[in-house]
A and B are shown apart, each in its own frame.
Chain A
């Protein structure tokens, strides 16, 4: 799977936002807010093909999360990203 290339991450203070840059009229209602761990995964995988397992492993390494929790969190997160049209 792959993240859509026309989505971009913005970092302001401790907040992270993803914006669909292909949108005809960008306004604040189109911003998708992320926490640090989610933004980290976005940065790591936004420009390449990946599997949910690869993402879970990276989450385990970087944030000391157990494998089961990482798998569950990544699965939920990817469902949300799909729902917001962020996945190719």
Chain B
């Protein structure tokens, strides 16, 4: 591992858990190494976490002044985007409620609140779970009548632009394809109703619905697994998972979560995920549900893949050239095939149904 990569992970852990940097041996870094650290953080969309991370260094080991300035500007930009996202999330929540839906916020800002500094989590778009396909169709008709242009996607989700922010509407709260597992998910969601949560601590009026603790963990876990074994995933999604486990600890029954992982085909994969979180993000083992055994070499392979893929595989040059509608599906299939050696070990049934859904 290069010095800049070593430093990157030390700073990531430090920012993620808001604690001193545990090992100072790679520091001081040269300006070039700091620039590499900044670039890596942008590729993995964890630049806000790293911004916090370097502030836990002794000051004489800080980046050179121009890079500190650059990072402060990034922090300010994220803060500004966060405020805009909160405003757009609250506005689209009202919009969807007025259209007759009971929307539930997925990922994004719902996860940001698990961080010590929610505004520093990079946000991409706003994801709402709206309801089953028939509800989604009715809501989309209402929005179209109001002048919104709805785009339909291959996974049967829809999206529209709200004042420059992409808003996605989903028919599934939890990304699981196998019909037998979907039944378990349905039972889970009817037993654990969404809860109201305020996006901005001091404004109760801005509360929106978010999933209850166990559905949140299952949703993040399944989402991570799907993307890991398909288009690729970045460290931000692993950080989200770690922060969610940490923040929700004590708010759910561990045995119940383990049972859901078993019944939804997530158990074996969770072993690999937890191994990764412990080894690379320093996740305290006692904050995790009991992990199933995973091969350390698979965690290492996953680590290399995450570094290569970056945020949802958007970092790879193949994705950049394939990012148009015609080639996107073929690119996804190629990515799935490339990842089969590991996905077949950890989630064979899910991969089968995923491929089926693309055919």
Give the B-binding residues of A (Cβ under 8 A): 8, 10, 12-15, 17, 19, 21, 26-28, 30-31
Interface of B is mostly: helix
- Please determine whether B59 and A8 come into contact, CB atoms closer than 8 angstroms: no
- Please determine whether A31 and B73 come into contact, CB atoms closer than 8 angstroms: yes
By beta carbon, the residue of chain A nearest B59 is A13
- Please determine whether A27 and B73 come into contact, CB atoms closer than 8 angstroms: yes
A88–B69 Cα gap in the complex (Å)?
Answer: 25
A28's partner among B55, B62, B70, B80 (CB-CB below 8 A) is B70
A15-B68, A28-B66, A28-B69 as given contacts; A10 in contact with B55, CB under 8 Å: no
- Please determine whether A13 and B77 come into contact, CB atoms closer than 8 angstroms: no
By beta carbon, the residue of chain A nearest B81 is A26
Residue B72 interfacial (CB < 8 Å): yes
- Please determine whether A8 and B76 come into contact, CB atoms closer than 8 angstroms: yes
A26's partner among B68, B71, B77 (CB-CB below 8 A) is B77
- Please determine whether A19 and B55 come into contact, CB atoms closer than 8 angstroms: no
A27–B75 Cα gap in the complex (Å)?
Answer: 10
The size class of the interface chain B forms with chain A is: 10 to 19
By beta carbon, the residue of chain A nearest B70 is A28
- Please determine whether B72 and A21 come into contact, CB atoms closer than 8 angstroms: no
A27-B73, A28-B73, A30-B73 as given contacts; A12 in contact with B68, CB under 8 Å: yes
Residue numbers in B under 8 Å from A30 (CB-CB): 73
Residue numbers in B under 8 Å from A10 (CB-CB): 72, 75-76
* B 71-115 to A, binary, CB cutoff 8 A, 1 in contact else 0: 111011101100000000000000000000000000000000000
A27–B59 Cα gap in the complex (Å)?
Answer: 23
By beta carbon, the residue of chain A nearest B54 is A12
- Please determine whether A19 and B76 come into contact, CB atoms closer than 8 angstroms: yes
Residue numbers in B under 8 Å from A17 (CB-CB): 69, 72
A31's partner among B62, B69, B79, B80 (CB-CB below 8 A) is B69
A28–B38 Cα gap in the complex (Å)?
Answer: 14
- Please determine whether A12 and B76 come into contact, CB atoms closer than 8 angstroms: no
A13-B55, A13-B62, A14-B59 as given contacts; A8 in contact with B79, CB under 8 Å: yes
- Please determine whether A31 and B72 come into contact, CB atoms closer than 8 angstroms: yes
Shortest CB distance A5–B (Å): 13
A19's partner among B62, B70, B73 (CB-CB below 8 A) is B73
- Please determine whether B72 and A28 come into contact, CB atoms closer than 8 angstroms: yes
